[in-house]
Amino acid sequence: MPLDTNASDAGRRRRRIVLIVVCCAIVAAVGVGYRAWSGGPDTAQAARKSPRQAVPVSVSAATLQDVPIYLTGLGTVQALYTVAIHAQVDGKLQDVFFKEGQRVNKGDVLAKIDPRLYQAALDQAKARKAMDEATLVAAEKDLERFRTLVRKNAETQQNLDLQQSKVDQTKASIAADRAAIETAQTNLDYTNIVASTAGRMGVRMVDPGNIVHANDSGAIAVLTQTQPAAVLFTLPAQTLDDVRASTARGTVDVAAFDRDNVRLLSEGQLSTIDNLIDQTTASYRLKATFANNDEKLWPGEFVNARLLLEIRKNVVVIPSLAVQRGPNGLFAWVVKTDNTVEALPIKTGTTTGNRTIVISGLQVGQRVVTDGQYKLQKGASVVVVDPRGTAKQGDQT
């Protein structure tokens, strides 16, 4: 019995020792973890002393500029004149004197129709006139004799009146002959098909040797006058008053750009504003005229017509990339003198190209952020970099 009691006490002592060791290990582990989690007083102090990392941004200064205000509309190039070359008399197309794509002058002979039938008709009309003129001479002599005989009572008044009628009829026949000669001469002239205006010839549709008619629906070719040229374009109806006010001030300049709105093709002036608004599209048409000396404007080509509405003098301008939209409206991130940022609400005007007019909210010279805004918050420190990502000297905090 004493042996069992001693063994039991020894076992209890061992269990208590093991329990104490385990508890100490747990407490030590918790302490180490908390210290590691909190970082301890030294780590917290070091964290308070280390500054936040500066945000790299690109900036641009608000400047005072004269800003042109443009209106741009899609348009189509039109030739100043487009003439379909047709035959005006019937006959065989004898010759074609132009080459496809050739520039011609007004009055140049483009083609010729066989003139022989029309020359014969002219000669016949002239011969008929000569015959009637000879008849008139004889009739007038007879009339004079009849008058002499009537005065001597050797002829009746009735015969004198009949002779007078013959003279008048012959004179009318001569007048008709003159008209017939003019008609025949005109038809003969029409056998030479001439250019009614200067321009450039298109593709030939009828070859020599074919019979052409005055009522043919198809043309021999098409002549277009491309110097000067016109551009017909449209603008939204709400801009009409501004455009009319601009025309009242003087000549309105219009520039024609290619379809990508990148390459300048020609410069001209506004010539016409259409007299009605298209209700289906809420737009109206305008026409601008261009000298087109280099023929960069080609009939049928689509272009972007840029109309200079006005030039606003001495306005505050910033890059359009600096304008941000928030829940309270438009704003811009402004870099202060200590290289921290703040968001300033702004009111903007017209945007032209990559520039936006600022009506209020910014002063000339203030630096606005144009890239890197998504990383910013109020009071954040920034480092100014150029577009290639290189920090500018003297701008790093």
**pLDDT tens, residue order, the chain (397 aa):** 444 445 556 566 666 665 665 566 665 555 544 454 444 444 444 444 445 688 899 899 999 988 888 899 999 999 988 999 999 999 999 999 999 999 999 999 999 999 999 999 999 999 999 999 999 999 889 888 888 888 888 888 888 889 889 999 999 999 999 999 999 999 999 999 999 999 999 999 999 999 999 999 999 999 999 889 999 999 999 999 999 999 999 999 999 999 888 899 999 999 999 999 999 999 999 999 999 999 899 999 999 999 998 888 889 999 999 999 988 899 999 998 888 999 999 998 888 878 899 998 888 989 999 988 888 888 888 888 875 545 554 444 3
Report pLDDT for 156.
Answer: 85
Q: Are 91 and 204 within one domain?
A: yes
323 domain-assigned: yes
226 domain-assigned: yes
Q: Mind giving me the DSSP string for 232-255? A: EEEEEGGGHHHHHHHHHHS--EEE
CB within 8 Å of 385: residues ≥ 6 apart: 56, 57, 58, 391, 392
Distances (CA, A) of 56 to 189, 258, 268, 379: 81, 38, 45, 14
Q: Phi first, then psi: give them for residue 267, nearest 5 degrees.
A: -125, 135
Q: Are 357 and 326 within one domain?
A: yes
Three-state secondary structure call for residue 39: coil
The domain of 259 spans 70-79+221-311
Report pLDDT for 89.
Answer: 93
Q: Are 110 and 195 within one domain?
A: yes
Q: Are 232 and 298 within one domain?
A: yes
371 domain-assigned: yes
The answer to whether the beta carbons of residues 251 and 324 sit under 8 Å apart is: no
The percent of the chain in helix, strand and coil, each rounded to the nearest 5, is: 35, 40, 25
349 domain-assigned: yes
Report pLDDT for 372.
Answer: 85
Q: Give the count of domains, the chain.
A: 4
- The domain that holds 201 is classified in CATH as 2.40.50.100
The answer to whether the beta carbons of residues 332 and 319 sit under 8 Å apart is: no
Q: Are 297 and 372 within one domain?
A: no
